[in-house]
């Protein structure tokens, strides 16, 4: 069936939407895609709601922004049979309060006239999983589509970095040993916050500031001593878990601070390699971070295997996460698992997601 997916990530840049044709096992075709950026005012509303749980005015305002933006971009599509709506993560505390993605999927089902699968993470967290990452089952399908035969990894560089290690010879993503997925550490979020706080920019365009600076390797090493990096996967982070890095870099120039935060993002991925069942033959990079040459250069300097953008194997790194929620929506409709012990640490396979139908 043709499925439409939408993703609004922790970088708070906008809404990605994309269609794929899938049966929940294989990806048969890629359809159209679209992007709707958040305005500066909308980003400010979303940023003000970060860390808030349902019931506050900040969350209500953020939900209105998210629902309006999604309705605008999703209305451009025709031919979809189901929508996978992720919403905007405002707070993520799987060991405590749970996880919170704002935006009402039932409202979008009515507005768009489409069965809508949403609230993908709560079921996983409720039974003891991390609720993240959720793209690994889709990564497995993509590994099969590109004909991979050796272990490989997908690295998503959004606000937070996350890694999916894949054995493409396994019968399916539900099988033990097929996948190992976890967050690696901070990625774009601290860099973006630094740029906004110091220079009033959304991000370090093309890594231009970072390449002008020198990395404080002692600081990088000190950050990697945080016990979180030694914690065995699966594990996940909230966007703001390492926000304090910026305050600790006050003594550095803008360029040196950007270079050091960029190095931390790469070094955390390098440190994560020790957790993998076998060295990956290649790492395919997706997410906004792959557009940052300084970050990609740091990854290649610190990790011995080939580091390649997913475009090198015919995939769209800007739309891969939106496609993932289209894929997961079909799996939820067909009562298939969307996460499990090796991806989120849940004690059993989980089929997450509410289904809301128009009318």
Minimal CA–CA distance to 142: which of 346, 317, 352, 336? 317
Helix (H) or strand (E) holding 218: helix 217-223
What mean pLDDT do residues 313-327 have? Answer: 96
Q: Decide if pLDDT at 237 tops 90.
A: no
Start-end of CATH 3.30.420.40 domains in the chain: 2-133+319-356, 147-313
Q: Is 59 helix (H, G, I), strand (E, B) or coil?
A: helix
**pLDDT tier, 240 (very low <50, low <70, confident <90, very high otherwise):** confident
Q: Decide if pLDDT at 9 tops 90.
A: no
| Cβ atoms of 69 and 43 closer than 8 Å | no
Distance CA 141, CA 144 (A): 5
Q: Is 158 helix (H, G, I), strand (E, B) or coil?
A: coil
What are the tokens at 117? Answer: 């699968």
The pLDDT of residue 347: 95
Distance CA 19, CA 78 (A): 10
**pLDDT tier, 239 (very low <50, low <70, confident <90, very high otherwise):** confident
Minimal CA–CA distance to 63: which of 91, 34, 90? 90
Distance of alpha carbon 126 from its chain centroid, rounded?
A: 20
What mean pLDDT do residues 94-114 have? Answer: 95
The pLDDT of residue 236: 85
Distance CA 337, CA 350 (A): 5
Minimal CA–CA distance to 330: which of 134, 143, 82? 82
Give residue-wise pLDDT tens across range 327-353.
999 999 999 999 999 999 999 999 989
Q: Decide if pLDDT at 243 tops 80.
A: no
Q: Name 30's Cβ contacts closer than 8 Å, sequence gap at least 6.
A: 18, 19, 20, 21, 316, 323
Distance CA 75, CA 115 (A): 14
pLDDT, the chain, mean: 95
pLDDT > 90 in the chain, percent: 91
**pLDDT tier, 17 (very low <50, low <70, confident <90, very high otherwise):** very high
- What fold is seen in the domain 2-133+319-356? Nucleotidyltransferase; domain 5 (3.30.420)
Give residue-wise pLDDT tens across range 38-61.
999 999 999 999 999 999 999 999
Q: Decide if pLDDT at 11 tops 80.
A: no
Give residue-wise pLDDT tens across range 113-166.
999 999 999 999 999 999 988 999 999 999 999 999 999 999 999 889 999 999
**pLDDT tier, 234 (very low <50, low <70, confident <90, very high otherwise):** confident
The pLDDT of residue 241: 83
Query: CA distances (Å), 50 to each of 54, 77, 112, 129, 147, in order?
Result: 11, 30, 27, 22, 40
Q: Which CATH class is domain 147-313?
A: alpha beta
The pLDDT of residue 138: 98
Distance CA 113, CA 135 (A): 26
Distance of alpha carbon 135 from its chain centroid, rounded?
A: 8
Distance CA 298, CA 266 (A): 6
The pLDDT of residue 244: 85
Q: Is 77 helix (H, G, I), strand (E, B) or coil?
A: coil
Q: Decide if pLDDT at 99 tops 80.
A: yes
**pLDDT tier, 214 (very low <50, low <70, confident <90, very high otherwise):** very high
Backbone Cα Rg of the chain: 19
What mean pLDDT do residues 228-249 have? Answer: 87
Segments in 244-358 forming alpha helices (H): 245-248, 254-272, 293-302, 320-333
Q: Decide if pLDDT at 13 tops 80.
A: yes
Predicted TM-score (pTM) of this structure: 0.94
């Amino acid at each position: 069936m043709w499925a439409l997916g939408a993703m609004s990530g922790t970088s708070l840049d906008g809404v990605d939407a994309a269609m794929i044709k899938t049966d929940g096992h294989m990806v048969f075709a890629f359809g159209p895609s679209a992007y709707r950026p958040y305005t500066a005012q909308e980003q400010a509303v979303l940023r003000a709601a970060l860390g808030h749980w349902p019931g506050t005015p900040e969350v209500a305002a953020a939900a209105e922004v998210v629902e309006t933006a999604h309705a605008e971009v999703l209305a451009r599509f025709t031919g979809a049979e189901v929508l996978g709506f992720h919403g905007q993560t405002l707070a993520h505390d799987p060991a405590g309060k749970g996880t919170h993605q704002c935006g009402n999927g039932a409202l979008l089902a009515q507005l768009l006239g489409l069965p809508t699968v949403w609230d993908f993470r709560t079921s996983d967290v409720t039974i003891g999983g991390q609720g993240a990452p959720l793209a690994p089952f889709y990564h497995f399908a993509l590994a099969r589509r590109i004909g991979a035969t050796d272990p490989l990894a997908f690295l998503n560089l959004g606000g937070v970095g996350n890694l999916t290690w894949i054995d493409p010879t396994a019968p399916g993503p539900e099988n033990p040993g097929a996948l190992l997925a976890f967050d690696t550490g901070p990625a774009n979020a601290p860099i973006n916050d630094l740029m906004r706080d110091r220079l009033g920019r959304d991000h370090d365009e093309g890594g231009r500031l970072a390449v002008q600076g020198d990395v404080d390797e002692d600081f990088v090493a000190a950050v990697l001593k945080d016990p979180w990096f030694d914690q065995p996967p699966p594990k996940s982070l909230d966007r703001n878990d390492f926000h304090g890095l910026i305050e600790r870099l006050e003594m550095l120039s803008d360029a040196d601070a950007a270079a050091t935060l960029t190095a931390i993002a790469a070094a955390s991925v390098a440190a994560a390699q020790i957790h993998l069942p076998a060295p990956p033959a290649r790492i395919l990079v997706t997410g906004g971070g792959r557009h940052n040459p300084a970050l990609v250069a740091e990854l290649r300097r610190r990790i011995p295997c080939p580091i390649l953008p997913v475009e090198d194997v015919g995939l769209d790194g800007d739309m891969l996460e939106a496609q993932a929620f289209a894929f997961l929506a079909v799996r939820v409709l067909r009562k298939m698992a969307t996460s499990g012990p090796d991806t989120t640490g849940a004690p059993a396979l989980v089929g997450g997601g509410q289904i809301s139908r128009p009318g």
